[in-house]
Amino acid sequence: MDASTATSPAAGKLPGLAFAREGGTVLASFDPTRGPAIADPAQGPDAIAAALAEAGFGACRPKEAAIPVLAQALAHGQSIAALPVADALDGEVLITLAEDRMTAWLAIRPPQGGAPADETAIRRALNERNVITGIDDAVIRLAAGLGENGTREALVVAVGRQPVPGEDGRFESLLPGMRSRVPQIDASGRVDYRNLGDIQTVQPGAPLLRRVHATAGVAGETVTGLAIPAKPGKEMMFAPNLAGVAVDPNDPDLLAATLVGQPVEVRGGVMVEPTHRVRAVNMATGNVVFEGSVAVEGDVQAGMTIKAGGDIEIGGTAEAVILEAGGNIIIKGGVLGALGRPESEGGSRRIRCEGTFTATFVQQAAIEAGEAIIIDDVALQCQLSAGQRILVGDKKRGLLAGGIARAGLLVQAKVLGSPSHAETRIEVGVPQAVLHERASIARSREEKARQLDQLVQLLALGQKQPERLPPGFVEKAGPTRLRLLEELAELTARDQFLQRQVELASDAQVVAASNVHEGVEVFLAGQSYRVKGERGHGGVFALDKGTLSWLFAVPGS
């Protein structure tokens, strides 16, 4: 008998019955000459169980098939030499892995006559399942202390490390006070659509904007040691042909001014724009066409035109004029348009800007803005179109009545429509211009990709048969290839920007802070809602579970 063998006599109730343990098995032997047998085999299982317990093997797991055999031998006086009747089982360690291998759970079954699972057994089981990282030693010690009775529920014993995505590249302004083409946020956290920052003047050579490169991120790891790549951040590229600035020859990530003027942040960098200032625009001054910004102290006379590559600021009023700005348009007075008049009287006069349009009032005017239209008092019988928001009313009446108002994200006024039930059409969601531009970008990308592919094929042909290419072709092909790659990158970046606008469209709203009159019709996501009757309280037109609905709660009220 080896070191793993132990022998114990049976209880006195069953003389002649003895048990011996060899390794993890309990063996029974019965000598019928040493004592009387049991009278009935049916009494055997209980008697044998009691005998196992008295012999010190009560915790072992009985072999169900062997117990009746032993009972028959005891009842009929049959000799048994070494019958396996029970197993002495050590505590069992169970390791379960999540499907993504980011979590491992530990459970312990209590021993049955064997040794409890200890810390060594737990670490061996983890190693067998290849769990090598993120292991919690405290949980292992806790589980080992529960080995005698086992764990009630599985314990998290190892957790993987999620990857940390890289940070996108960004532009860092070196002029904290530089005016941006986006509204500012005041100290209370409110967006002030009227405050677009102070105007600064810079000298040639002044550093304006620094490009901060994207980071690669930090890779993650599963509990089995498998690396999870991190998503790198997206790089930022300076837009081409930025006016009034240039890349510093000693620092490719720095933009510096090349002329005296006003720095203005734009998509993809910063420009420096000189400003043209006049007292008024009328027959005496003639039309104004200027690449920079234009500031008019007084009024703009009917029939006049101002076209500016930057901002247009008018201190008075504008009547039936043409205004076109690459930036914002600010009119401290108002606009008296010419909608409804014959073409000869100025019916084709329109106002357009790429940024934000701001005025005190507008009437019978056609206005388009790339970002927002902000009217302090009233907008009557106008055609308004904004890429993102139309806001009517701050401290004044805030009346939007008649005509059409289109915006990508929000149309908001204190009062929508009029008591006279003027037909007022309001459209929110993705502007058609965005959809048309994306379609145009797709066509351009396809054409440039085709040109690039043809160029690559010709270069490959030239390497094998240079005589088939015209003289100087290879020297010209290199710059052409780089230009096509840059143009494709620019188109892709613009398409991604427009895609984000499309994704925001589902959150578009029409908000009335006070009243909504009959005659108002709202269009959103291919659905329409026509107001019937008067609404004497504020509310919101928005998608509710996919359906355009009138909701009573006004955000922020």
pLDDT of residue 427 exceeding 80: yes
Q: What is the pLDDT of residue 88?
A: 83
Same-domain status, 60 and 187: no
Q: Which of 249, 271, 293 is the endpoint of a domain? A: 271
Same-domain status, 20 and 83: yes
What does the alpha-carbon distance between residue 345 and residue 263 come to, in Å, rounded to a whole number? Answer: 38
Q: What is the pLDDT of residue 555?
A: 46
What SS3 class is residue 284?
coil
For 372-419, what is each residue's pLDDT tens digit?
999 999 999 999 999 889 999 877 889 999 999 999 889 999 999 999
Mean pLDDT of 241-259: 92
Q: Which of 238, 271, 304 is the endpoint of a domain? A: 271
Provide the pairing of β-strand 25-30 with 318-319: unpaired
Residue 16 structural domain? 5-87
CATH number at residue 545: 2.160.20
Same-domain status, 391 and 518: yes
Same-domain status, 40 and 174: no
Does 132 reside within a domain?
yes
Residues 6+ apart with CB under 8 A from 125: 93, 94, 95
Q: What is the pLDDT of residue 30?
A: 86
Q: What is the pLDDT of residue 57?
A: 83
229, 360, 542 from 511: Cα distances, Å: 45, 20, 9
How many CB atoms neighbour CB 444 within 10 A?
A: 16
Same-domain status, 383 and 532: yes
Does 325 reside within a domain?
no
Q: What is the DSSP letter of 70?
A: H
Does 313 reside within a domain?
no
Same-domain status, 31 and 50: yes
Q: What is the DSSP letter of 197?
A: -
Same-domain status, 438 and 414: no
Q: CB-side exposure of 100: number of CA atoms within 13 Å?
A: 10
pLDDT of residue 3 exceeding 60: no
Same-domain status, 189 and 113: no
Does 72 reside within a domain?
yes
Does 352 reside within a domain?
no
Quick check: 416 and 400 in contact, CB under 8 A?
yes
Q: What is the pLDDT of residue 196?
A: 38
pLDDT of residue 432 exceeding 70: no
What is the number of domains present in the chain?
5
What distance lies between CA 263 and its chain's CA centroid?
32
Does 357 reside within a domain?
no
Does 317 reside within a domain?
no
What does the alpha-carbon distance between residue 177 and residue 265 come to, in Å, rounded to a whole number? Answer: 11
Average pLDDT, the chain: 84
Across-strand partners of 415? 399, 515
Token digits of residue 22: 């060899």
Same-domain status, 179 and 263: yes
Residues 6+ apart with CB under 8 A from 548: 522, 524, 525, 527, 528, 529, 541, 542
Q: What is the DSSP letter of 41?
A: G
pLDDT of residue 288 exceeding 70: yes
Does 283 reside within a domain?
no
Cα angle, residue 376 at apex, residues 372 and 382 outer, rounded to 5°: 65
Same-domain status, 33 and 63: yes
Instruction: Return the residue matching tokens 């809602």.
Output: 529
Mean pLDDT of 346-362: 85
93, 252, 406, 413 from 330: Cα distances, Å: 74, 35, 20, 19
Same-domain status, 528 and 406: yes
Same-domain status, 17 and 135: no
Q: What percent of the chain has pLDDT over 90?
A: 39
pLDDT of residue 180 exceeding 60: no
What does the alpha-carbon distance between residue 549 and residue 545 come to, in Å, rounded to a whole number? Answer: 9
Q: Which of 271, 291, 318 is the endpoint of a domain? A: 271
